[in-house]
Amino acid sequence: MSISAEASAAPDKDWWRGAVIYQIYPRSFQDSNGDGIGDLKGITARLPHVAALGADAIWISPFFPSPMRDFGYDVSNYTDVDPMFGSLSDFDGLIAEAHRLGIKVMIDLVMSHSSDQHPWFIESRSSRFNPKADWYVWADAKPDGTPPNNWLSIFGGSAWAWDPTRMQYYMHNFLTSQPDLNLHNAEVQDALLDMTRFWLKRGVDGFRLDTINFYFHDKELRDNPALEPSRRNASTAPAVNPYNFQEHLYDKNRPENLEFLKRFRAVLDEFPAIAAVGEVGDSQRGLEIVGEYTSGNDKMHMCYAFEFLAPDPLVPLRVVDVQNAFSAAAPDGWACWAFSNHDVVRHVSRWGQDVLDRDSYAKMVSAILMTQRGSVCIYQGEELGLTEADIAYADLQDPYGIQFWPEFKGRDGCRTPMVWDAQALQAGFSTAEKTWLPIPVEHQLRAVSAQYGDPASVLEQYRRFLAFRKQHPAFVKGDILFLPEDGSVLGYKRQYGNETVLCLFNMGAAPAAADLPIGDWDVLTGHGFESGLEDRSVTLPAWGAFFARHV
C-alpha cells in the first residue's frame, strides 16, 4: 500500500500530548548584541542546544513591547516585538530555525491584563464615554471614597487603583501598571482573538496562557469571603502576602471563562496542529479548575496548576496525591507538569536545600518529572542543575521581591542569565560588562561547556533520559498506576498499548530496597541509573532509580 507524500506530511495534531517543552525566559537566555539582555537572535543561535537536549518544543516568555515594569508581562502592543528583543523579522527567523530543527514554538499570551501604556488603556482612562471606556474594569468608589470591594492584588495591597481623570477605580490583579482587561466586553474578546490569529499566521505552534483563570471578574463586584487560616496556601502568593487571607470566589475563577476558552479554542482549530497550555494560578481549587478547563475537546489542550511548583517537599506520597487528585478532578484532561519556572524558587534549592549530593538528587527528580502522566515543562538551566541565585537587594529587579523583601526575595533568583561557557566573560551569555541580573560564580562553574560530554553530569543525564523516554511510548502517552507506599521508594507503572514500564525511585539519602511486582520483568538500560536486582529484590542507591518492562 502506498501513502501519498501529502498524507505522510500531515501534521500531528496530537504532538503536544506527552511533549517536552523547554521554557525560555528571553531576557536571560542569550544576548546577541552586547547590551546585557537576552534577545530573539540569541535564542535562535542557541536552539541547537534545545534540539540536542531532546525537547519537542520551546515556550518563550513575553517579548512584546512593554515598559518592563513586570518584565514583559505588562504588554503595551500585542502584535510586535520590543526593540530590546529585536524585530518581527528576528522572530520569523527564530520560527524558521526552530522548525528546521524539528522544534515547535509556543509563545506566552498575557490576556488577563495589559500595560497601562497600552493605547487601549490610554484611551479607556481618558473619559467615561470613549469607544474603549468599557475595555477595562472600572468602578465607582464607595460613598466614603474607598475601593469598590475588598479584592486584593497578588503584588500586595488593594486590587483597585484610583484614576483622577475618570474619578473611578480600575482593577489590577497584579501591579497598578497592569490594569485588568474587561473580557465581559465582546469587543475585547474579539481584539484578543484577532491578536491570537496574528501570531498563528506567523507560524507559531501554540501558546502558553498566562494567569488563565484571571480573565473574568464578578460583574456584581461582590466581596471575597475570608479564608480560614488552616486553608491558607502559599503556592500562588508568598505567605507574607495577605492575598492568601481570602477565598478568591469573585475576583477570578469565574464560570464565564469557559465560554471564552471555547471561542479561543475555535480560533486555534482554524489552523493545523496548534496546542495551548493554560497556567492556573490558584492554590485553593487549582486542580478542579484544570479539570474544568481541559474537559472535552473544546477548551484547553492542557493546563498546569501550582501543585509541583509549591514549597511542599517532594516525597513519594506528595507525587501520588497530586496525580490522583488530578485524575479525580480531570479524568479526561491532560496535565502539563513543571517543577521549576520563572516565578518560583528553582526546585533543586526548593526541595533539595539540605541534600549533600545535589547532582544525584537533580537527576532523580528529573526522572520523576519525565515519567509523570502528562506533558513536561523544563525551565532553562534546570538541565544544568542550577540552584536558586542569592541576589543582593541592590541588584533586585523584580517588583515583587522589592515589595516584600527580605521575607520574600522575589523571583530574580530563578531568572539569572543562562550559563554557556565556564571560561568566557559573563559565562558566554553576553559580552557586556554588566548583565541585567548578575551571574553567580557557582552557576558559571556549571555552564554547558563544563558539563557537555561528561557522562556523570546533570546535563548529559537530562539528554540521556529524554532519549530513553522517547523510546517508550508508555512514558509519553500512557496511564499511571501507583504501587503501594514503601518508605522512601516511589513506585508506579506506566501503561500504553502493549507496553508496561515499571518505575522505582529512591527519594531518600540512604540506600533502599523494593520488591518487583508480580509478573516477569526485563530490566531496562540506557537511562543513566544503576541499581542491583537479586531474587526479585531491587537495591536502590541514595537518589537512585530503576526501570523495567513487563514481558
544/525 Cα distance (integer angstroms)? 14
Burial of 245 (0-12, 13-18, 19+ CB in 10 A): middle
Phi-psi region of 550 (alpha: psi -120 to 50; beta: other; left: phi over 0): beta
Three-class secondary structure of residue 336 per DSSP: strand
Output DSSP code: residue 3. Answer: -
**Residue of 140, 194, 269, 270 with catalytic role:** 270
Q: Are 184 and 204 in contact (CB under 8 A)?
A: no
Output DSSP code: residue 125. Answer: T
262/295 Cα distance (integer angstroms)? 11
Q: Find the radius of gyration of the CA atoms of the chain.
A: 24
Strand order in the sheet with 489-496: 479-482, 489-496, 499-506, 545-550, 521-523
At CA 39, angle to CA 378 and CA 410, rounded to 5?
55
In the chain, how long is the greatest CA-to-CA distance?
80
> Is 194 an annotated catalytic residue?
no
Strand order in the sheet with 168-171: 138-139, 168-171, 160-163
Alpha carbon distances (Å) from 327 to 17, 61, 310, 484, 495: 16, 28, 19, 17, 15
Nearest to 49 by CA among 452, 522, 366: 452
378/59 Cα distance (integer angstroms)? 10
Amino acid at 539: T
272/254 Cα distance (integer angstroms)? 30
Cell of 349: 534549592
123/385 Cα distance (integer angstroms)? 47
**Residue of 39, 116, 210, 382 with catalytic role:** 210
> Is 270 an annotated catalytic residue?
yes
428/326 Cα distance (integer angstroms)? 41
6/512 Cα distance (integer angstroms)? 53
Burial of 129 (0-12, 13-18, 19+ CB in 10 A): exposed
DSSP string, 216-236: ---TT-PPPPB--GGG--SSS
Cell of 241: 502576602
Which residues are catalytic, by number? 210, 270
